[in-house]
Structure 1
Amino acid sequence: MKIVTASGESSEFSESKVASSLRRAGAQEHVISDILHHLKAHLHPNISTKEIYKTAFNLLRQQDGLTASRYKLKKAIYELGPTGFPFEKFIGALFENSGFKVKVGQTLQGTCVSHEVDVIAETAGVKMFMECKFHSEQGKKCDVKIPLYIHSRFTDLESFQLKSKNKDDVRHEGWVITNTRFTKDAVTYGQCVGLKLLGWDFPKGQGLKERIDRLGLYPISVSTLLTAREKQFLLSRDNVLCRQLLKDDFLLDQLEISKNRKHKILKEMRDLIAPANKR
């Protein structure tokens, strides 16, 4: 059966792809089988992948709310928008919780002009200048124009650092990070000039999704218990990770959430950040 992808292209429906995505989220085999059985009854020619996902998510949520939260990770990243700044804070938090020293939203001088750098991450011997490209529209890819202009900005920043009297004795890296996918030309150019690219599923096995799942660093927007208004309140308080909310649970009191509901929300947060091998 032909379906329509988020980018508007026509493709064959793949039962195995749906099963794999559910399995990666942690769904048990009998749950996957049941969802696929019900999903088939909803299929029709030219159904969108968005509608397929929504149906699968609702079916999964009825049986396993926690796994449904993990399953909606990609959509949850889109929910960090629309300005893109919460995505920058999320990336900063992601690297900070991975052992890097991080600064978000810094303005640095280049040889020619000054540049606002979304995220600066440092570790022993390496300083990384990161540009975050957030897309609120599903199906939109990060094309070659992005790494082209990011590389020119990075070159200007790096040349100033190397000429500076107070230059730091570290290697510099330019990064482009997106919540979507890169086009083939974007990847080719990035690899050619030495830019580091991090996308939803790129590099293979080390993409944004894999990093989040492996480390349990889920954004609060994955929650199926918090309302949209509550999520926006928490994001406005720079609370972007589930594990942050566990430390700053007083924010739930400011939202006047009942004691019983607060307990359920915090349990959801604890279960979400549990190591993958304990799920």
Structure 2
Amino acid sequence: MEKEIYIKKSNGEIELFLFEKLKQSLQSTGASKAAISTIINRIKTDIYDGISSDEIYKKAFVLLKKHNKISASRYSLKRAIFDLGPTGYPFERLVGALLKEKGYKTKVGVIIKGRCVTHEIDVLAEKDENVYAIECKFHSDAKAASNVKIPLYINSRFLDIQEQWNSNSNNKTYLKQGWLVTNTRFTSDAINYGKCVGLTLLSWDYPENNGLKANIDTLALYPVTTLTTLTKREKHQLIEKNIVLVKELAKATEIMKSIGISDHKIKRVLTEVNELCQF
């Protein structure tokens, strides 16, 4: 029987480490059974009581990258979203792109007049003559969670613009619902409040099997920060030029050249782009 190992999570909590959980994370990247077995056996020799989840991630990422760079890119998704910061705008673009792929017409950063005050809405989405006001709460710290105060505030803003929007006879659409999207997690009170008032909540892994990670993987809408062929500096230079999604690089050769990426490296980047997005 294997010795029980307790690890320190990014939020400071201590939890029993389960190799099965690591195995599932590696399987979700598309890595081969042989690669997963090799990585787990190696980590078994390096792991110790009190090790941080971040250290385990780094060890697994380095080993996975040696076996399959595309799987490593997928495995790094959560960290890659943190790397979109420090501002929340690239995350808003990512959320807008997810909704667009699902058939919504989207606009990012929209000023809307409410009954009482004017609001800036992160993403406005329309589908079947219904409009949805989406607020994005980006955290650059993995320990951060959106507590009940956040959806309380977002719902009050939504109600203000909903009243004004739906009472305006010039509007041909109906402002139906508010959404709140975060890249970390919601507290249980925040989730219960969202359910109670009809506010749609989307976090890294909520709703179960339909959270941010699941949607990004299904739609292959990876942020440029997932790429292993680019340096951190190059990634942020691209974000500054409004290139947020990996798939946007397929038509951004000139932009890559403009930040000093060589023709040879561009070919390597585009190969990774094609394999990750499965063009």
Range class of TM-score, shorter chain: over 0.9
1:16-50 deviation digits (Å, cap 9, x = unpaired): 00000000011111111100111012111110000
> 2 CA distance for matches of 1:63 and 1:153?
48
> 2 CA distance for matches of 1:124 and 1:230?
39
**Is residue 225 of structure 1 aligned with residue 226 of structure 2?**
no
Query: What is the percentage of aligned positions where both structures have the same residue?
Result: 44
1:248-279 deviation digits (Å, cap 9, x = unpaired): 2211111222222111100100111117xxxx
Distance 1:43 1:20, change over 3 A: same
Maintained 8 Å contact 2:165/2:174: no
Maintained 8 Å contact 2:129/2:172: no
Match of 1:83 among 72, 80, 87: 87
SS in 2 for 1:25: coil
Match of 1:92 among 93, 96, 99: 96
What amino acid does structure 1 have at the position aligned with 2:123?
V
1:160-205 deviation digits (Å, cap 9, x = unpaired): 0122131333252100000011111111000000001111111112
What amino acid does structure 2 have at the position aligned with 1:267?
T
Residue in structure 2 matched with residue 200 of structure 1 by the alignment:
204
Maintained 8 Å contact 1:89/1:238: no
How far 1:97 moved relative to its partner?
3.0
Q: Mapping of 1:236-255 within 5 angstroms? A: 236-255=240-259
Maintained 8 Å contact 1:161/1:168: no
What amino acid does structure 2 have at the position aligned with 1:14?
L
1:111-132 deviation digits (Å, cap 9, x = unpaired): 0000010010111122110100
TM-score (normalised: structure 1): 0.96
TM-score (normalised: structure 2): 0.96
> 2 CA distance for matches of 1:268 and 1:96?
23
> 2 CA distance for matches of 1:98 and 1:159?
27
**Is residue 47 of structure 1 aligned with residue 77 of structure 2?**
no
> 1 CA distance for matches of 2:262 and 2:175?
50
Residue in structure 1 matched with residue 70 of structure 2 by the alignment:
66
Match of 1:189 among 189, 193, 198: 193
> 2 CA distance for matches of 1:158 and 1:167?
11
> 1 CA distance for matches of 2:126 and 2:199?
16
SS in 1 for 2:87: coil
SS in 1 for 2:166: helix
Residue in structure 2 matched with residue 7 of structure 1 by the alignment:
11
> 2 CA distance for matches of 1:29 and 1:169?
50
Q: Unmatched 5+ residue regions in structure 1?
A: none
Residue in structure 2 matched with residue 31 of structure 1 by the alignment:
35
How far 1:66 moved relative to its partner?
1.0
SS in 1 for 2:145: coil
Q: Unmatched 5+ residue regions in structure 2?
A: none
How far 1:96 moved relative to its partner?
2.1
**Is residue 105 of structure 1 aligned with residue 109 of structure 2?**
yes
Maintained 8 Å contact 2:166/2:175: no
SS in 1 for 2:103: coil
Aligned residue-pair number? 275
